[in-house]
Amino acid sequence: MTGKFYATHAALIGIILAISGFITWSAVDARASLDNLVVVAPVASVIALLAVILVAVTLLKPAPTPAEGEAGEAQAKDPGIWGDMLMLAGFGVFCYALTKVGFDLATFLFVWAGVVMSGGKGWWQPPLYAAIFTAALVYGFGSLFPYPMLTLVL
Amino acid sequence: MIDQFALSQALDLLFSSFTPWLWVIPGLLIGLVFGSIPGLQISMAMAVFLPVTFSMDFLQAMLFLTSIFTGGAYGGGVTAILMNIPGSSSSIATAFDGYPMARQGKHNEALGLGLAASVVGAFVGYILLMLLIQPLAAFVLKIGPLEMVVVVLWGLTLIATLNDSSMAKGLLAGFFGLMLSQIGMSTTGVMRTSVGMPYLIDGLPVVPAMIGIFAAAELLRLRGETYLVQNEAQRDISFGRILKGAGETFKYPGVLIRGSLLGAVIGAIPGVGSSVANLVSYGEAKRTSKTPERFGKGAPEGVVAAESANSSSEGGSMTALLALGIPGGAATAVLLAAFSFHNIIGGPSFIRNQTDVVYSIILGNLGQVLLLAVLGLLSLRLLGLVVRVPLSYLVPSVLAMCAWGGYGITGTIAGPLTVAGFAALGWLMRRNNYPVAATVIGLLLGRMMEGELVRTMQISGGNPLRYMLERPIALVLFIIMLLVLVGAPALKALKRRRQARAEV
């Protein structure tokens, strides 16, 4: 076993297996009949088989050449990964906050923070842009929604 | 095939006054805007503007609503090309090659290719509708669940071809999408998990999932860069290069015609339509190409195949509406509402008694397609400016719009949360070279597949293979699919082996 199994790959396969397992269990628990499992059962079996194949292929792969090894290490230690994860977490919080604190406030704060995190320069440009963008979204995009939309300020 | 008298009456209806055309340009613009903003759907635009048509006469209302439909179908492709955000499920395959072209600084050419393919596709779709509306209606009536299973299966086969480096990764991604489509109540009414969210009883909302996995994940990847197109010299929006791209479309006549025909036929099948048409057409273009390895890396044929199919499917989807009074999707359901408001019932009697009106709707749509070519060219200069926006501002702005779009589709917190969840999944998948499109295809087609499979099993008494022998259309489709998927590659391999032997 010479191949490397990176943490993000392991996490992805783990998530796929966990979610697939849960959906399969829930479907079988609801009703174990052909009409209910016609897609779930074969798909679950194929997913399990493919996951085993992928893990085995990765672990049994011949040792990477020095250049490949360095590229792989660089990807694994990519400093941008933490920035991406922070942005993802921020995006998740923003999505959750839309209907909690108001679409306007959540959008303003997210866009401001996002511009700064993505390298936007200046201390006044990012909040000014975020305010204008939020107003445009609320009065433009939001006015087309056929649903009520919670706002705090606008 | 064409009733000459009705045709002359239709021309008179359309061109004796300017009134029917009055709302076509506004309609195309509304469609372009709604289609190009993630989360705003064409059907939503048509529903929002439906009350406006109450004061119009029937033909004017039809041309206005169908112009929104036409503009929206193209608008979805623009964001797919420029930002890897398919405006709707019918533009998924456009992003496969359109976005890589844009990243290489060929955004002008890609937009031109998309526009020309859309115009030709829509044109072919409506011409076929005009010539073949009655035989097509008869064909639609013969489509049952088994035929739908075969068509959906054909769409699903694209999954296997999406990842050149590892087929196992492509398959795992696709099958995971199929598994995710099983969340919520089954098509037979069995309550499976809704992950504790009552909003998910009907399953995961596909469009927010698609926005999250495509757009949000890609935007995060762009975070460290400065502009969508790195080379400053290539950031221009050039009318000449857009036209050059449009001209390039005709270098691929086979792909263009095949895509348009596939789109029209698949589009005519109620409930399947453009979502599957663009995938099947892209898959066929890749399979039959002499250089399939270029696909997914900015092959112009990929854009042509996807856009011609999704645009021609619009003509196909009108078949069931006009000839049978059956809406094939959400957009045609809004058109049906406009029909009923004007006391018109689609179906055989409508075609028989009001042939002139049917022809004028079809001819009006052909006119719209030509107007789209002009309007599309003019609006592309504006829409293409996105490549000049610094990514530090573009990334958070579009991310915010993605979340808003998720809310706009579901009207609940489930939409934005689905976008966020799939953004994380997409980010993980892209880091490990899994094709995110395969998951979206699985999610999109899984529920359709389940419903049709269950119906097929019930009708066939548990023996679908024997039942297939009684269904000539399904049998022919299945044989063609097998020939295309297994026969053609086997033949190619045999030829290659013979050639190699001859050389030795």
**Inter-chain residue contact B192 with A107, CB threshold 8 Å:** no
- Do both A12 and A65 map to the same domain? yes
A72 and A84 in a common domain: no
pLDDT at A133 over 90: yes
Query: Residue A76 pLDDT more than 60?
Result: no
B65/chain A closest Cα distance in angstroms:
17
Which comes out higher in pLDDT, residue A36 or B230? Answer: A36
Nearest-angstrom CA–CA distance, A129 and B370: 38
Residues of B in contact with A113 (CB under 8 A): 396
Q: What is the ipTM of this complex?
A: 0.90
Q: With bands split at pLDDT 50, 70 and 90, how would you rate the model's confidence at A1? A: very low
Q: Does residue A69 surpass a pLDDT of 70?
A: no
Report the residue from A11, A83, A91 with minimal CB separation from B423.
A91
Residue A57 falls inside a structural domain = yes
Q: Give the C-alpha separation, B317 to B338, whole Å.
A: 16
Domain residue ranges of chain B, discontinuous segments joined by + = 4-470, 471-504
Nearest Cα neighbor of B292 from B120, B434, B115, B489 is B489
* Choice between A103 and B218, residue whose per-residue pLDDT is larger: A103
Q: By percentage, how much of chain B surpasses pLDDT 90?
A: 16
Q: What is the SS3 assignment for B185?
A: strand
Inter-chain CB proximity B407 and A80 less than 8 Å: no
B168: which chain A residues are within 8 Å (Cβ-Cβ)? 50, 53-54, 57
Which chain A residues are within 8 Å of B213, Cβ to Cβ?
none
Query: Within this chain, do residues A102 and A138 fall inside the same structural domain, yes or no?
Result: yes
At B39 the pLDDT is 64
Q: Note whether residue A43 is domain-resident.
A: yes
Give the structural domain span for A131. Answer: 80-144
Distance from CA of A52 to the nearest CA of B (A): 10
Q: Contact, A130 vs A108, CB < 8 A?
A: yes
Percent of chain B with pLDDT over 70: 95
One domain, residues A86 and A71: no
What span, in angstroms and rounded, lies between the C-alpha atoms of A9 and B169?
11
Cβ neighbours for B392, distance < 8 A, ≥ 6 positions apart: A115, A118, A119, A120, A121, B226
Q: How many helices and strands in chain B, by DSSP H and E?
A: 24, 0
Please indicate whether, in this complex, the C-beta atoms of B192 and A23 are within 8 angstroms of each other.
yes
CA pair distance B177, B183, nearest whole angstrom: 11
Question: Same domain, yes or no, for A71 and A84?
Answer: no
- Provide the domain count of chain A: 2
pLDDT digits (tens, 9 = 90+) for B401-426: 889 988 888 888 999 999 999 999 99
Residues of chain B contacting A16 with CB distance shorter than 8 Å: 172, 176
Q: Cβ of B408 and A144 within 8 Å?
A: yes
- Which helix (H) or strand (E) segment is B133 a member of? helix B107-141
Q: What is the pLDDT of residue A68?
A: 59
3-state class of B360 per DSSP?
helix
pLDDT at position B430 is: 86
Between B178, B223, B404, which is nearest A87 by CB? B223
Decide if pLDDT at B45 tops 90: no
- Element spanning A140, H or E: none
Which of B1-10, B269-278, B409-418, B462-471 is predicted with the least confidence, judged by mean pLDDT? B269-278
Contact A50 B425 (CB under 8 A): no
Band of pLDDT at residue B164, cut at 50, 70 and 90: low
Contacts with B502 (C-beta within 8 Å, 6 or more apart), sequence order: none
Q: Is residue A153 part of a domain?
A: no
Final residue before a domain boundary, out of A49, A76, A103: A76
pLDDT score, position A50: 92
Q: Which of B407, B441, B453 is best to mutate for the A interface (most A CBs within 10 A)?
A: B407
What is the per-residue pLDDT across B290-299, written as a single tens digit (0 to 9) for each?
888 888 888 9
Last residue of a domain, one of A26, A47, A76: A76
Same domain? For A94 and A136 the reply is: yes
Decide if A65 is inside a domain.
yes
Q: How many CB pairs under 8 A join A and B?
A: 192
Q: What is residue B316's DSSP assignment?
A: H
In 3-state terms, chain B is what percent helix, strand and coil (to 5)?
80, 0, 20
Residue A17 has pLDDT above 90, yes or no: yes
Verify whether the Cβ–Cβ distance A23 to B411 is below 8 Å. Answer: no
Q: What is the mean pLDDT of chain B?
A: 84
The C-alpha angle with vertex A126 and arms to A124 and A132, in degrees rounded to 5, equals 100
The phi and psi torsions of B191 (rounded to 5 degrees) equal -85, 105
Pick the last residue of a domain from A37, A55, A76: A76
